[in-house]
C-alpha cells in the first residue's frame, strides 16, 4: 500500500472514529414546499464553425425554418445550411422563491449529430415545468469546457464538446407559489429518512423553543385531551413531533405567526445530532475507506494471503508477521481497528475490498458495505 493510500485510509478512519457531531437542522433536509423545480426546453445554438447538425438531423432544419418564419423571414428548406446550427435541449433548476427578473444558469446538450457547440449562441428558448407552463426564457453564449478541451484534435474531449452551459442565461418570468405554515403547521422533510434522526430533531426543536407561547393551531379538544395552555405560557403539547422516518411536524407558535421567515430561520439554526445506519464505503481502485468509528464486528476468523491480525484494544492494534494461522478477532472489535492493522501490514486496495466483502458475506460486519469504483 502506497504512502498516499495509507494516509487516505488513516485519515478516513480517524475522522469517522471521532463519532457523530451536531449539525444544523437546515443541513438535514428542507421544509415542505421549499424545493427546486426542474425546467426543460428546446432550442437552437447558432454561430458554430461548421460543427453543427447535418441534413440527417431533419428536425434542426424544421426548427430553423419555423423560427425564421416567426421573425418574418420566408425561406425554402433546401436553402438552409445547417453546419453552423445545432438543435439542443435546454435544462435548468428553478430555485425556491425565485422571483421574475432573476437569472439562473442553464445547460444545453446537443440532440442531433453536431460535433461541437464551441463558439455557439443559444437563441431564445422557453423553459417549461412539469405542468407545461413557461417559467423562464433562456438565451446567450454557450460556454463549453476549458480551452484545453476545445482542441479539435483531442478525441478524448469530443463527447464533452456537445454539452455546455450558459451562465445566468435564463431569466425567470413566473414564480412558483410557496405556502408555508398552512393551518399553523410546518413539515420538515429529512434528506435521509431515519427514525432516530427524526426523533432527535423533534426533541432538539422542543428544547430550543421550550418557553414559546401557545401554538397557533392547537390539536382539537376531545375526551382525554389536555386543556389548552394559557396565552403567553408554554404549550401543553410539544411543538415538534416525528410523523415517520422522513417527516417532522412543527407547530407554529402564536408569537411567530406573522414572522414565518424568522421562525423558519430560527428552527434551521438549531443543532441536531443525526443518526443513521452503519455504513462502510470503500474504493476498489484506491482503497480509500470511509466508515463510522463504532462499526463493530462479531467474533470471526480471517485468513487472507497469509495475513494475520490481532486486535488488542481500540488504540493498540497489533500487526503480526505473515502466517498461515487462522486468527480470531474477538466480538466487539471495531472495524477501524481492523483497517488500521491491515494498513500497517501493507494490504493492497483490492485485498482490503476482498476482506471487507468477506466479512459482510459472513455476517460479521454489522454495517452496510458499499464498494465504489
Please tell me the predicted confidence (pLDDT) of residue 303.
Answer: 72
Residues of the chain with pLDDT under 70: 1-20, 77-81, 146-159, 211-236, 287, 292-294, 306-333
196 near 164, Cβ under 8 Å? no
Please tell me the predicted confidence (pLDDT) of residue 12.
Answer: 46
Strands 368-372 and 279-283: parallel
Cell numbers 428548406 correspond to 77
What does the alpha-carbon distance between residue 299 and residue 194 come to, in Å, rounded to a whole number?
28
What does the alpha-carbon distance between residue 153 and residue 147 come to, in Å, rounded to a whole number?
13
What does the alpha-carbon distance between residue 205 and residue 209 come to, in Å, rounded to a whole number?
6
- Alpha-helical regions (H) of the chain: 3-17, 58-70, 195-208, 260-268, 335-344, 349-361
Please tell me the predicted confidence (pLDDT) of residue 309.
Answer: 62
pTM > 0.95: yes or no: no
Please tell me the predicted confidence (pLDDT) of residue 330.
Answer: 67
Please tell me the predicted confidence (pLDDT) of residue 77.
Answer: 64
50 near 84, Cβ under 8 Å? yes
- Alpha-helical regions (H) of 302-371: 335-344, 349-361
Which residues have a Cβ under 8 Å from the Cβ of 336 and sit 6 or more positions away? 13, 16, 17, 291, 293, 295, 314
Query: 3-state DSSP call for residue 121?
Result: strand
Please tell me the predicted confidence (pLDDT) of residue 311.
Answer: 56
Please tell me the predicted confidence (pLDDT) of residue 13.
Answer: 45
Please tell me the predicted confidence (pLDDT) of residue 1.
Answer: 43
Please tell me the predicted confidence (pLDDT) of residue 66.
Answer: 79
Please tell me the predicted confidence (pLDDT) of residue 4.
Answer: 43
Please tell me the predicted confidence (pLDDT) of residue 254.
Answer: 87
Please tell me the predicted confidence (pLDDT) of residue 251.
Answer: 93
Please tell me the predicted confidence (pLDDT) of residue 109.
Answer: 94
296 near 333, Cβ under 8 Å? yes
79 torsion bin: left (phi>0), alpha (psi -120 to 50), beta (else): alpha
What does the alpha-carbon distance between residue 23 and residue 164 come to, in Å, rounded to a whole number?
35
What does the alpha-carbon distance between residue 12 and residue 349 come to, in Å, rounded to a whole number?
14
What does the alpha-carbon distance between residue 28 and residue 290 come to, in Å, rounded to a whole number?
20
Please tell me the predicted confidence (pLDDT) of residue 332.
Answer: 65
Amino acid at each position: 500500500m502506497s504512502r498516499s493510500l495509507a494516509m487516505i485510509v488513516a485519515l478516513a478512519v480517524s475522522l469517522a472514529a471521532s463519532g457523530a457531531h451536531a449539525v444544523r437542522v437546515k443541513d438535514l433536509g428542507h421544509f415542505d414546499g421549499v424545493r427546486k423545480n426542474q425546467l426543460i426546453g428546446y432550442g437552437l445554438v447558432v454561430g458554430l464553425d461548421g460543427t453543427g447538425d447535418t441534413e440527417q438531423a431533419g428536425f434542426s432544419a424544421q426548427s430553423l425554418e419555423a423560427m425564421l418564419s416567426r421573425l418574418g423571414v420566408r425561406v425554402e428548406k433546401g436553402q438552409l445550411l445547417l453546419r453552423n446550427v445545432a438543435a439542443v435541449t435546454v435544462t435548468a433548476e428553478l430555485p425556491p422563491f425565485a422571483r421574475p427578473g432573476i437569472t439562473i444558469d442553464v445547460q444545453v446538450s446537443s440532440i442531433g449529430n453536431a460535433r461541437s457547440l464551441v463558439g455557439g449562441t443559444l437563441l431564445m428558448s422557453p423553459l417549461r415545468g412539469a405542468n407545461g407552463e413557461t417559467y423562464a426564457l433562456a438565451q446567450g453564449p454557450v460556454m463549453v469546457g476549458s480551452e484545453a478541451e476545445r482542441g479539435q484534435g483531442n478525441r478524448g474531449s469530443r463527447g464533452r464538446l456537445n454539452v455546455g452551459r450558459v451562465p445566468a442565461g435564463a431569466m425567470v418570468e413566473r414564480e412558483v407559489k410557496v405556502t408555508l405554515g398552512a393551518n399553523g403547521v410546518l413539515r420538515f422533510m429529512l434528506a435521509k429518512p431515519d427514525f432516530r434522526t427524526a426523533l432527535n430533531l423533534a426533541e432538539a426543536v422542543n428544547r430550543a423553543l421550550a418557553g414559546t407561547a401557545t401554538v397557533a393551531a392547537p390539536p382539537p379538544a376531545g375526551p382525554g385531551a389536555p386543556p389548552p395552555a394559557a396565552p403567553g405560557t408554554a404549550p401543553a403539547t410539544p411543538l415538534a413531533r416525528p410523523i415517520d422516518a422522513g417527516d417532522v411536524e412543527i407547530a407554529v407558535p402564536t408569537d411567530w405567526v406573522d414572522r414565518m421567515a424568522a421562525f423558519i430561520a430560527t428552527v434551521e439554526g438549531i443543532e441536531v445530532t443525526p443518526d443513521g445506519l452503519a455504513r462502510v464505503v470503500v474504493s476498489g481502485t484506491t482503497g480509500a475507506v470511509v466508515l463510522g468509528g463504532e462499526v463493530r464486528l462479531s467474533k470471526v476468523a480471517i485468513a487472507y494471503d497469509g495475513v494475520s491480525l490481532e486486535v488488542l484494544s481500540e488504540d493498540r492494534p497489533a500487526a503480526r508477521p505473515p502466517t498461515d494461522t487462522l486468527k480470531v478477532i474477538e466480538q466487539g472489535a471495531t472495524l477501524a481497528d481492523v483497517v488500521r492493522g491491515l494498513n500497517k501490514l501493507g494490504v493492497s486496495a483490492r485485498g482490503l475490498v476482498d476482506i471487507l466483502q468477506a466479512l459482510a458475506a459472513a455476517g460479521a460486519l454489522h454495517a452496510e458495505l458499499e464498494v465504489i469504483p
